[in-house]
Structure 1
Amino acid sequence: MVRMTVQLIALCSLVFASTATAAAVPSKRQANGRATWYNPEGFGFCGTRQDSSQHIVAISSYWTAGFGTGVCGVQINAWTPDGRSTTATITDVCYTCGQNDIDFSPAAFQDLAPLSSSPISIEWQLL
């Protein structure tokens, strides 16, 4: 009985330790990067269903390496040098993007520029 209690305590310790290690996503961080677009279909990194008509974005794997799924569901505001802007929700990861580059759904990218303009320069901020 004592052995079972000790094993249960050890198991609970591992569970609580693993949930406490996720880092908080920095708020209001602003970055400069390049924006591209992709056709999101099915389930992305965050486990939510996504499609190209939604205002969603895949963020660089740099961010998920530091914050894991903590970036999922966070909104970003992005704008171009000429003042066009969009707001999108992080639902996926872009493994080929540079550190501050992001990959938009077509619906979100078209708020910034025609799809044929990809890639474009942007500034963006976590909301």
Structure 2
Amino acid sequence: MLTFQKITVASLLFASSLFAFAAAAPAERSLKTGDATYYNPGLGACGKSNTGADQVVAVSQQLFDTYPGHTSNPNANPICGRRVKVNYGGKSVVVTVEDRCPACAFNDLDLSPSAFQALAPLAAGRLRGMTWDFV
């Protein structure tokens, strides 16, 4: 009986530590709401060249520059290459972070034209209330 209690206590401690880790770790894993615009990509802050046909995104400069693990070298920022799922009007597109957007508010995204068009026509110009999250 005593052995069973020890296992139970150990199991509970392990389970509670997993719960605490899961609750604390994914702060970035929450749906964000902002505006989406589009831009013509070129050489981005992550050090790669892209075109309007690529499924890429520029995140706000505030997010880019405060992302955990960022350094003074933007090409080495750990947000570079992260995948983001963007949702708007019942549609979604998955894009890769390749740049930063100085004019964007914290949760706004600047999409490549092809990514924007997966959600709405370019003529829309701005998609207010789009949501996104890292994948």
**Consecutive unaligned residues in structure 2, runs of 5 or more:** 1-24, 71-76
Match runs of 1:68-107 below 5 Å: 68=70, 69-80=77-88, 82-107=89-114
What per-residue deviation string (whole Å, max 9, x for no partner) do you get for residues 11-56 of structure 1?
xxxxxxxxxxxxx995423200000000012x10000121111000
Gaps of 5+ in 1: 1-23
1: CA distance, partners of 2:26 / 2:105: 19
One-letter amino acid of the counterpart of residue 107, structure 1: S
CA gap of 1:65–1:26, structure 2 versus 1, over 3 A, is farther
Q: Residue 113 of structure 1 aligns with which residue?
A: 120
Paired residues, what number? 102
Q: Taking every aligned residue pair, what percent have the same amino acid on both sides? A: 33
> How far apart in 2 are the matches of 1:66 and 1:27?
12
Answer with 1 or 2: which has the greater Rg. Answer: 2
Residue 60 (structure 1) aligns with: 60
- The 4+ residue runs of structure 1 with deviation greater than 4 A are 24-27
Alpha-carbon distance in 2 for matches of 1:62, 1:117 = 25
**Residue type matched to 2:119 in 1?**
L
Asked whether the equivalents of residues 38 and 116 of structure 2 are also in contact (C-alpha less than 8 Å), the reply is: yes
1:5-44 aligned at under 5 Å gives the runs 27-41=28-42, 43-44=43-44
- How far apart, in 2, do the equivalents of 1:53 and 1:25 lie? 31
Deviation at 1:118, TM superposition (A): 1.4
**What SS does structure 1 have at the residue aligned with 2:86?**
strand
Cα distance between partner residues in 1 of 2:114 and 2:39? 10
Distance 2:100 2:27 in 1: 17
Q: CA RMSD in A?
A: 1.6
Q: Is the 8 A contact 1:37 1:105 kept in 2?
A: yes
Structure 1 length as normaliser, TM-score? 0.75
Counterpart for residue 8 of structure 2: none
Give 1:77 deviation, angstroms. Answer: 0.2
| SS of 2:98 mapped into structure 1 | strand
